[in-house]
């Protein structure tokens, strides 16, 4: 079996080494796509990723903060809940609160728990108190990183001497495909503390299997594990950033005097068709081998419109774009922005563009996205003469503020508030001009 799409469960503990955190957030995205509310936590330690929606417990504040978790789930679809670990760039298990796992599980559809540590190495032998699988867990996922293959155990294993002993080897011996099954089956290996829970194994870092024989042998291991009723998922969980392009096309064109999105442009296309084609072009640019290898980024397009704009909606669906209707377009652009954002809360960043900028180019969107991926800023805006404008990209750390906007106010106020995190992509004034009146349609 390959991939992780078939994985299910209510309270899932993740153990082992070689990609636990990557698996945890890959599952978070999968379950969020399925419409489930997800809480992420740990029974040991995990990296404190500042840009994720989080409820960080300090001292004895658990009971005071637990009421904020449902609100966070409403906004983001998921939330990280853990205790601060002073002096370290990590968070840790909640302490001093009886039944905290059960309390969290009642607030969500899926509770994901990082239940082991491995010092970022691809394989491990568990210590005396490891893994820390809570009694409430109904599923255990054990992870092994395939980058360990053919390398000395001393280089690739956390607690290398214990792992070598488990496998009947020395620490100078290489870890081979033949060692996978003993590690998976051993009660002193990946099966430790699993007991009668459902147990599945993720063989991560499959992109390291460049040798055909290795790939065949790993699949043979998966077939052998199936005889023990242990599903094996072979995949690569190298973080792939998800970016969503959100087209806001739900306006009432009050100043224009008619539905300007249906206006025919000089090249014969309607205004909305120009924008949909430009977004399609942008997505295709990031599907090239160069971009896939360099950035590992997944792009998608969401169109927010009104139910009465059927022609636009149907054209977007034909391009395999997702379409959502703004239930209250009269509330202004904030309503459209939030309608689109709510459907993309699992994305690492969202780029918002409006549908009345027909001179906008795919090159400009490409430059904005590339600027973000290269780390130029957490907010990236197109600009003319140094003045930020649309389109504008926001990383996930700003989603909460975007969801709090109201009226006919877009993200400009958030841009002004966080100028130290803003990067500008300078383009021509004409390209960024909105078509507000009929005489502007050729701009």
CA 323 from chain centre, in angstroms, equals 20
Contact 2, 235 (CB under 8 A): yes
State pLDDT tens for residues 348-365: 899 999 988 999 999 999
Tokens 């922005």 locate to 337
Contact 437, 255 (CB under 8 A): yes
Contact 259, 434 (CB under 8 A): no
Length of the chain: 443
Single out the residue of 219, 203, 57 nearest to residue 143, CA to CA.
203
- Show the CA angle centred on residue 149, arms to residues 144 and 151, nearest 5°: 120
pTM of the model: 0.63
Single out the residue of 385, 359, 390, 418 nearest to residue 245, CA to CA.
390
112 pairs with which residues across the strands?
12, 40
User: Rounded to whole angstroms, how far apart are CA atoms 431 and 359?
Assistant: 5
* Arithmetic mean of pLDDT, 378-386: 93
Contact 313, 319 (CB under 8 A): no
Q: How many Cβ atoms sit within 10 Å of the Cβ of residue 212?
A: 8
Tokens 């740990």 locate to 42
Q: Which residues, other chains included, contact 161 with Cβ-Cβ below 8 Å and sequence gap of 6+?
A: 171
Q: State the sign of the Cα–Cα–Cα–Cα dihedral 55, 60, 62, 68.
A: negative
State pLDDT tens for residues 34-54: 889 999 999 999 988 877 889
150: left (phi over 0), alpha (psi -120 to 50) or beta: left
Please report the pLDDT score of residue 211 as a whole number.
Answer: 83
Contact 255, 225 (CB under 8 A): no
Contact 232, 39 (CB under 8 A): no
What residue segments make up the domains of the chain, in order of their start?
A: 11-234, 241-440
Strands, E assignment, 232-378: 232-234, 241-249, 297-305, 322-325, 349-354
In the structure, what pLDDT confidence band is assigned to residue 254 with cuts at 50, 70 and 90? very low
In the structure, what pLDDT confidence band is assigned to residue 328 with cuts at 50, 70 and 90? confident
Structure tokens at 65: 């903060």
Q: Does domain 241-440 have CATH number 3.90.550.10?
A: yes
State pLDDT tens for residues 69-125: 998 998 889 999 999 888 778 899 999 889 999 999 999 999 999 999 888 899 999
Structure tokens at 349: 């960043």
What are the backbone dihedrals phi and psi of residue 182, each rounded to the nearest 5 degrees, phi first?
-55, -40
Specify the CATH number for 11-234; select among 1.10.3210, 3.30.1360, 3.10.260, 3.40.50. Answer: 3.40.50
In the structure, what pLDDT confidence band is assigned to residue 437 with cuts at 50, 70 and 90? very low
**DSSP 8-state class, residue 27:** H
Contact 114, 46 (CB under 8 A): yes
Please report the pLDDT score of residue 443 as a whole number.
Answer: 34
State pLDDT tens for residues 164-205: 999 999 999 999 999 999 999 999 999 999 999 999 999 999
Helix (H, G, I), strand (E, B) or coil at 381: strand
Helix (H, G, I), strand (E, B) or coil at 247: strand
Q: Which residue has the higher pLDDT, 377 or 300?
A: 300
Contact 186, 204 (CB under 8 A): no
């Amino acid at each position: 079996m390959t991939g992780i799409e078939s994985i299910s469960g209510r309270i899932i503990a993740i153990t082992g080494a070689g990609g636990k955190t990557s698996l945890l957030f890959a599952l978070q995205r999968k379950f969020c796509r399925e419409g489930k509310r997800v809480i992420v936590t740990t029974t040991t330690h995990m990296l404190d990723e500042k840009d994720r929606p989080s409820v960080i417990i300090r001292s004895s504040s658990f009971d005071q903060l637990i009421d904020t978790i449902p609100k966070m789930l409403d906004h983001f679809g998921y939330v990280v809940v853990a205790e601060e670990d002073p002096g370290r760039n990590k968070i840790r298990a909640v302490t001093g609160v009886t039944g905290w796992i059960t309390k969290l599980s009642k607030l969500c559809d899926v509770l994901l728990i990082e239940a082991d540590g491995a010092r970022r190495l691809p394989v491990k032998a568990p210590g005396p108190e490891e893994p820390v699988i809570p009694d409430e867990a109904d599923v255990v996922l054990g992870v092994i990183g395939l980058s360990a293959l053919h390398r000395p155990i001393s280089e690739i294993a956390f607690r290398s001497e214990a792992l070598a002993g488990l496998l009947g080897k020395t620490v100078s011996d290489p870890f081979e495909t033949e060692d996978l099954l003993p590690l998976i089956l051993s009660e002193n290996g990946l099966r430790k503390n699993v007991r009668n829970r459902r147990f599945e194994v993720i063989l991560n870092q499959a992109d390291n299997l460049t040798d055909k024989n290795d790939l065949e042998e790993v699949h043979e291991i998966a077939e052998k594990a199936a005889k023990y009723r242990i599903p094996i998922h072979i995949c690569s969980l190298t973080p792939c950033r998800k970016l969503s392009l959100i087209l806001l096309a739900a306006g009432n064109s009050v100043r224009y005097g008619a539905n300007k999105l249906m206006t025919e442009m000089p090249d014969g296309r309607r205004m909305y068709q120009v924008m949909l084609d430009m977004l399609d072009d942008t997505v295709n640019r990031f599907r090239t081998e160069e971009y896939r290898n360099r950035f590992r980024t997944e792009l998608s397009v969401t169109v927010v419109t009104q139910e009465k704009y059927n022609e636009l909606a149907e054209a977007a669906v034909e391009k395999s774009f997702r379409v959502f209707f703004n239930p209250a377009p009269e509330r202004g652009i904030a309503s459209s922005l939030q309608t689109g954002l709510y459907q993309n809360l699992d994305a690492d960043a969202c780029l918002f563009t409006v549908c009345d900028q027909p001179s906008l180019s795919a090159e400009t969107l490409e430059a904005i996205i590339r600027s973000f991926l290269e780390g130029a800023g957490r907010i990236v805006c197109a600009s003319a003469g140094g003045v930020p404008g649309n389109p504008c990209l926001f990383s996930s750390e700003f989603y909460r503020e975007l969801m709090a906007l109201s009226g006919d106010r877009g993200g400009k106020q958030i841009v002004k508030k966080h100028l130290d995190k803003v990067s500008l992509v300078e383009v021509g004034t004409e390209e960024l001009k909105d078509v507000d009146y009929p005489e502007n349609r050729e701009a």
